[in-house]
Amino acid sequence: MGMGKPLAWRSRYLPNGYALLVLLAFFLSIANNQRCLANPAYPEAGTYKLQKIQPAPSGWVLQDSVWIPRRLSSYTKDKVTLFSFFYGTCRDPQGCPKAWDAFLAVHKAVKMNPKWHNKVRLVFVSLDPNADTPEMMSIFQSSMSTPEAPWAFLTTWSESFLTPILNDMYVPAWREFDDKGKQTDVINHLLKVFLIDKEAWVREIYTTNFLDPNVVIADIGTLLLEEE
Amino acid sequence: MKKLLRSSVCALAVLAVGPSLTIADETCNSPFTSALIKGQEDFLHVWTLGEVGVGDESDKLVTIDVQPNSPTFGKVINSVSVGGRGEAHHTGFTDDRRFLWAGRLDDNKIFIFDLIDPSKPKVVKTITDFADKTGFVGPHTFYATAGRMMIQALSNGKTHDGQTGIVVYNNAGDLISTHPMPLDNGGDGYGYDIGINPAQNVMLTSSFTGWTNYMMDIGQMVKDPEAMKRFGSTMVMWDFKSMKPITTMQVPGAPLEIRWSLRPEDNWAITATALTSKLWLVKQNEKGEWQAKDVGNIGDPSKVPLPVDISITADGKGLWVNTFLDGTTRYYDLTNVEAPKEVYSKKMGSQVNMVSQSFDGKRVYFTTSLLANWDKKGNDNEQWLKAYDWDGKELVEKFTVDFKAEKLGRAHHMKFSAKPTKAAALGE
């Protein structure tokens, strides 16, 4: 999956097997989520206020195989949104897999709570538009999204469309070089997960060491109670 | 700042900085700062007070090469003057370690440096309305949380006493919220340092004194009984998520720097009191209530050595404690944190304030300045950075930078950084 291969080649041959591997990895991680216990140190949902930290990011993204640009803002308003970045070949246990685990736990919690149905969405934006094509995103989305808990998998036309979104969110991301000075497919990035309210304000940010799904679920509850 | 961020990225399209670029005093960082480098630091940044008659007399960020294999090892390689003298004091990295926020206690300006090239920090934004927007003055501690910078102020703009609060900005430098220090349930309203223990969802704060005192000549202040009453004597444990105080603990004598043990199995913090010269331990009792306990003296309290900065080892087993007035650093064995034991001391000079150690504890750096009006006078006003190796038994000096001879000013807060890893920013 080298950087130099034509995009069409990738689009034609890679999606199915590639996506299946990724899906297998995160299905295996579901077992871990079953062991999540509430952290008693954190307050109950609705007993605290989440401040408005910054506006949600803007930009243009692609969602499905038709390659039609869509405004990212249409995925970050009117619902409470859990938003993060990932890429399909990411294997750093402190990176994307950790985000997958958290998103799976939140997705399950939303599905199990009828009061939350269609009030919460999850959004993943790919860090690797070269490899993570819209076709690939469609496979992820059809496997993961449900009507009561929509989960959008987005990508961009190219890294030049992605970079402003990353800058808006203060997420540094860098492609590693190998020993011979060639770029690899490893993208180092600081894992950040953003909780966005329905007015498109970021209300909480979770980083690698502090991404506790139970805390995220409590924060979602706080935002939904705030709406009531 | 985002435009500046983008242009900086463009300028360094190939040799860009990976997420593990900038490293601070590794054992005393906010837990929200990203990946620690546990090897050799390359650069040391010293937030330096301008001094009348010294160089350009301006506050500045001084960068020193601390890579032993470098031809410029131990030399000043860069200096960024920010203009004027506003009581430069402390600094702190953002959570992504890309930016360094540096504050001034008198004019309340906050300078945000971009360290994409850590050998050449650049100011990309200056916050000038801190006092106007918050009512607080004296931005002291800069403590990163996720996507935000938490700032502990020391005073307020109305009375200039110690009643103050905490201010939260986002990483772009936009004000998010303010949180007054508690005045009820035993709270005295003072503030100084912040230490967060995310696993327990708690935030610990300490207390110092207000603008009137920290800007007063120290000789004049100690002769003023009323001024000496205006110091904090509390530590507050907060629910970090809700930013609500849980309990206020009485810790007489101005408890200053807060250091949580970094060992995952530990659940305690330690601090030193400036005026009473004691170490205090903060931990939960059997009922889960947070309590502060006097666990020993620092030097001879009757001689008021004035404990200042402290630095905990990564394993939570050792603590450096500087005492300003006798110019001495002391190393405490914390194996039994209920009874710390001084096992080493060294006279560093006429005065010593800050101490920073590498994550492995093998390198320790010291600087001299406390506050412009509290530093010693005449020949006793030494201003230097000294770098040492530490083998567990003895400090071995590696180099000294004389901040007066180099015409820099008063050397204060230190932060580490490392050379960029070879990587390419996305989109370049």
Is the Cβ of A198 closer than 8 Å to some Cβ of chain B?
Answer: no
**pLDDT number for residue B350:** 98
**pLDDT number for residue B137:** 98
Q: Which of A174, A190, A206 sits opposite B425 (nearest CB)?
A: A174
**pLDDT number for residue A23:** 55
Query: Of the candidates A117, A107, A116, A124, which has an alpha carbon nearest to the alpha carbon of residue A29?
Result: A107
What is the C-alpha separation between A86 and A169, in angstroms, rounded? 14
pLDDT in tens, B247-288: 999 999 999 999 999 998 999 999 999 999 999 999 999 999
To the nearest whole Å, the CA of A58 is away from the closest chain B CA by: 13
Retrieve residue A27's tokens.
């299905």
pLDDT in tens, A159-178: 999 999 999 999 988 888 88
To the nearest whole Å, the CA of A217 is away from the closest chain B CA by: 14
Kindly state the percentage of chain B with pLDDT values over 70: 92
What is the C-alpha separation between B231 and B250, in angstroms, rounded? 12
**pLDDT number for residue B36:** 66
Helix, strand, coil fractions of chain A, as percent rounded to 5: 40, 25, 40
**Is the Cβ pair A170, B241 closer than 8 Å?**
no
What is the C-alpha separation between B55 and B79, in angstroms, rounded? 12
Q: How many helices (H) and strands (E) does chain B have?
A: 5, 29
Domain B24-417 sits in CATH at 2.130.10.10
Task: Identify whether the C-beta of residue A42 lies closer than 8 Å to the C-beta of residue A214.
Answer: yes
Retrieve residue B114's tokens.
């971009």
Query: Of the candidates A118, A121, A192, A155, which has an alpha carbon nearest to the alpha carbon of residue A10?
Result: A155
Query: Which residues 38-77 in chain A show a CB within 8 A of chain B?
Result: 39, 41-43, 47-49, 51-54
**pLDDT number for residue A22:** 58
Residue bearing tokens 């030193």: B272
Quick check: A93 pLDDT over 80? no
Long-range Cβ pairs for the range B280-288 (8 Å, 24+)? B280/B235, B280/B251, B280/B255, B281/B337, B281/B338, B282/B204, B282/B235, B282/B237, B282/B249
Which residue does chain A place closest to B32, by CA atoms? Answer: A207
ipTM of the complex: 0.90
Domain A49-227: which topology?
Glutaredoxin (3.40.30)
Task: Identify whether the C-beta of residue B207 lies closer than 8 Å to the C-beta of residue B255.
Answer: yes
* Best mutation target, A155, A207, A219, A222, to test chain B (most B CBs within 10 A): A207
Reported as type and span, the H/E element at residue A24 is: helix A15-28
**pLDDT number for residue B321:** 98
Task: Identify whether the C-beta of residue A195 lies closer than 8 Å to the C-beta of residue A219.
Answer: yes
What mean pLDDT is predicted for residues B333-344?
98
Contacts of A162 in chain B (CB under 8 A): 426-427
Domain definitions of chain B by residue range = 24-417
Quick check: A146 pLDDT over 80? yes
Which residue does chain B place closest to A174, by CA atoms? Answer: B425
What is the C-alpha separation between A101 and B308, in angstroms, rounded? 43
* Confidence band for A98, pLDDT divided at 50, 70 and 90: confident
Quick check: B75 pLDDT over 80? yes
**Is the Cβ pair B426, A174 closer than 8 Å?**
yes
**pLDDT number for residue A181:** 82
Q: Which of A51, A206, A207 sits opposite B177 (nearest CB)?
A: A51
**pLDDT number for residue A184:** 84
User: A30 Cβ partners below 8 Å, 6+ apart?
Assistant: A104
Kindly state the percentage of chain A with pLDDT values over 90: 62
**Is the Cβ pair A171, B171 closer than 8 Å?**
no
**Is the Cβ pair B146, A207 closer than 8 Å?**
yes
What is the C-alpha separation between A4 and A15, in angstroms, rounded? 17
What mean pLDDT is predicted for residues A44-51?
96
Q: How far is CA B332 from the centre of its chain?
A: 20
Q: How far is CA A168 from the centre of its chain?
A: 16
What mean pLDDT is predicted for residues B360-384?
97
* Confidence band for B26, pLDDT divided at 50, 70 and 90: low
Which range, of A126-140, B129-143, B279-293, averages the lowest pLDDT?
A: A126-140
Which residue does chain B place closest to A206, by CA atoms? Answer: B146
Quick check: A204 pLDDT over 80? yes
Residue contacts between A and B (CB atoms, under 8 Å): 121
What mean pLDDT is predicted for residues A55-69?
89
To the nearest whole Å, the CA of A67 is away from the closest chain B CA by: 20
Contacts of B170 in chain A (CB under 8 A): 53-54
**pLDDT number for residue A228:** 80
User: A129 Cβ partners below 8 Å, 6+ apart?
Assistant: A155, A156, A157, A158, A159, A161, A162
